[in-house]
Chain A
Amino acid sequence: MADSAGAPRPSSSVKLVLLGEAAVGKSSLVLRFVNNDFQENKEPTIGAAFLTQKCNLPTRTIKFEIWDTAGQERFASLAPMYYRNAQAALVVYDLTKPTSLIKAKHWVAELQRQASPGIVIALVGNKLDLTNASAAAGGNSEEEDEESGGAAGGDGGDESGDARKISTEEAKTYAEEESLLFFETSAKTGHNVSEVFTAIANAIPETSLKSTRGPGASNAVSRGGDEQRVNLTGPRGDAAKDSCAC
């Protein structure tokens, strides 16, 4: 993301939630986006509450507050507070694992039921490095081509080296039907990862950015706005907030 030397742009926080079957690479995608890092054989997520990352657009800066499921999706035990006020969701499947797309569709339905209307949902097929397309993909991303090729050969199992089980067409058609953003990514090589987040940032309507938190318009529009929120770190915090007078 390029730095602009120009005037400061307005910045807004956006709550983004991750959803998807265990081990499809939800946390890895975020790790790639936030730290430009990837860990092989990563343990199931422990210790990540949420991560933040800024995304600079030409006219504004979006600061993503990225919430990880913390494993609570494993036994269908995500709490309403997880979805609440989310303005964006990343629903991830593993394009080498057919059940993971079924699961992803379930999460999309759940979001349409539970989350704020107007939430931007991106459907993401991850582990593109395990498919033949990874050659082309690798070409776009910078220095990790070799590593990626190696993994495709090693983990693919397929003679052609292509472990893909879900065609781009199938997932894309579904995404279009449900009006979802759609990407195929590799958290491992970084292919398409920042593109997903930039596309989400662009898709968030300007109107829902005016309030710091969530569109939430259907349910409870606060009459008092954000100033009704009580700051538990004391009145000092409030004063500091006032002085910023944005």
Chain B
Amino acid sequence: MESLGDEPWDVVICGTGLQQSLLALALSRSKKRILHTDPNDYYGQNEAALTLQDAESFAAKHAGGASSEVDEKKNVVRNAAVWKPDDAEAQGLKFPRAYSLALAPQIIHTKSKLLSSLVSSRAYRQVEFLAVGSFFVYEPAKDGSDPKLSRIPSSREDVFSSQSIPARSKRSLMKFLKFVLDFKSDDQRPIWEGHADSPLTDFLTAQFKLEDDLKRYVVALTMALDGKASVRSGLAAINRHLTSMGTFGPGFCAVYPKWGGLSEVAQVACRAGAVGGGIYMLDTSATVKPCSENAKASLELSNDITVEASSIIFGQDTTTGAEAISRLVAVVKSPLNSLFQVLVEGAPTPAVAVVALPSAPSPIYALVHSSDTGECPVGQCVVYLTTLATAESKHGLEQALAMLVKAVEGEESTVPCLYQLYYEQAIGDRKSTTENHGTSPAFSFPPLSASLAFEDSDLEAVKTAWSLILGDESDEETYLVFEDREGADAEDEVYE
């Protein structure tokens, strides 16, 4: 092993979660000397994409419950377990590296700051983005008909052409959509501000006379995990959904990075850090050593090297919050093709579908990924189910998976589930912290928000850390705004 101890590091970043990685990207042109480590032998931490082998070690590492040794704090990831049928391979499970299970399968709205930052920092060139297609609501069996998935119309054209909505309801829905598009304007504010904190469903009934079916569509589109969006947050979520449509092409409002979601963004950001001169060490954990008040902090690495750092960055792996989400990642042996239809001319083939399933006490959301995501072999799908954690939530997710598959493939179908990864993830208080070790500040990123769509608020801590490290040198104008490096030209595939 080469020596590292002599380097006076400006920053030691511990962990390659999305936020730490974006920080490395943000600092990649700063001339700061950066050492970036991760205790795992893969990139991404809680936003990683795991092979089946990685999934097993992840589950073993996080098998424990909520309690941790430290004070009142709770582990961010807990109760993890993997499962597969005894004859999984015979049923079609391929080799472990054929899978890339995303721990952070968030969809990214086209208007998200994450995307504009990736573009302005030129990191986007190395990520392949795929379209998120239709949103569905699970309709239980009624009047003798089988359960089915109803597609939510998500644009005005879509509402017009919908066969399943009666004309009168269409008018109320159109009125509502028009209102949401403009809900922050002075004209519209008075309509909702008085009810900002009341439930959205009540508001939909009172203001727009929406019927139950349509209300379920609207509520599903908010993607609120508790199913109880307030007027304020619900309108903001639906506005984001509608205004994101068409930004990068017709027919989709969000994108997903191929090969494992935010993991891919973390890897690309770390590569940019390395290209800028940062040193990368996976499979290496770091602990702060006690130091005197007026000395720089020292970190002891698991390979027995001790390094000095002017500032240190961590990610929090414990939290004080009690709330958590349950996640079930399931590989199913069916392409579930009907979920990935191209519905608008010129739209890219979607690789992700969103399904809302009714459940008590909170709804269950499924993000269904086709093999186009590169997360599973052709002929299979990866289904990411999420709900608020309760004692029963694991069972609830398993049931929802079965319901979803039957609704797509028919009641009689026997589509096997080839592999499952279950875990719970604390929602946490989502506050970054800074403490001092000697003269070195140590900044800790909070866990990412638990929502189904990437939240731009998760980017704020990255900028805070960036300003902390650069101090007087930090110039807002240059934050994540870079020129292309030599050779990275955009022209492509032309005859000469």
Contact = CB atoms under 8 A, between A and B. Distances in A.
Interface of A: 8-13, 22, 34, 46-52, 61, 66, 68-72, 74-77, 79-82, 84, 113-114, 212, 218-224, 227-235, 238, 244, 246
Give 6 closest A-B pairs by Cβ, nearest first.
A224-B349, A70-B274, A51-B487, A79-B267, A77-B280, A49-B485
B118 A11 contact: no
| Interface of A, helix, strand, loop or mixed by DSSP | loop
B348 interface: yes
Interface string B42-81: 1100000100000000000000000000000000000000
Nearest to A34: B487
Nearest to B349: A224
Most chain B beta-carbon contacts within 10 A, residue among A9, A48, A219, A223: A219
Given A75-B282, A222-B372, A228-B372, A49 B348 contact: no
B359 interface: no
B191 to A, nearest CB: 33
Contacts of B350: 228
B131 A230 contact: yes
Interface stretch (B175-183, B218-226, B488-496): B488-496
B56 to A, nearest CB: 17
Contacts of B279: 71, 74-75
B130 interface: yes
A219 B98 contact: yes
A61 B274 CA distance: 31
Contacts of A68: 275
Contacts of B129: 229-230, 232
A80 B495 CA distance: 31
Contact of B97 (A52, A69, A114): A114
Contacts of A221: 371, 378
A244 B493 CA distance: 9
A49 B249 contact: no
Interface in B257-308: 259, 264, 267-268, 270-272, 274-277, 279-284
Interface string B359-398: 0000000000011111111100000000000000000000
A246 B493 contact: yes
B160 interface: no
Contacts of B487: 34, 48-52, 66
Given A52-B489, A220-B371, A220-B374, A81 B130 contact: no
Contacts of A12: 493
A107 B296 CA distance: 38
A34 B487 CA distance: 10
A82 to B, nearest CB: 7
B276 to A, nearest CB: 7
A47 B276 contact: yes
